[in-house]
């Protein structure tokens, strides 16, 4: 099944946001005409998005190797765990 991805980046509730209201109307019309699509919504105000820091990416390759991953700082360990639960 095909997916339509809707990413919301607005802290307002849908009934108070003009852009979210327009987006919802578009999504509803689109899905009405394209029955083979499934909607996937991501609200960036509700999801945990790890802060992107240079040090994390510098060490990202060690995440592949579990023994090296243990050498990450406590903060990086927490981000690694949060990323897995996403």
pLDDT in tens, 13-60: 999 999 999 999 999 999 999 999 999 999 988 887 776 666 666 665
pTM, two decimal places: 0.56
Three-state DSSP at 17 gives: coil
Instruction: Residue 38: name the closest of 13, 66, 1 by CA.
Output: 1
Return the pLDDT at 63.
Answer: 54
């Amino acid at each position: 099944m095909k997916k339509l991805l809707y990413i919301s980046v607005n802290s307002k509730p849908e009934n108070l946001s003009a852009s979210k209201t327009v987006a919802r109307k578009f999504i509803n019309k689109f899905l009405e005409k394209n029955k083979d699509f499934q909607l996937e919504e991501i609200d960036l105000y509700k999801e945990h998005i790890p802060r992107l820091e240079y040090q994390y990416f510098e060490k990202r390759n060690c995440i592949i190797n579990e023994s090296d991953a243990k050498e990450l700082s406590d903060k990086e360990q927490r981000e690694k765990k949060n990323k897995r639960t996403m």
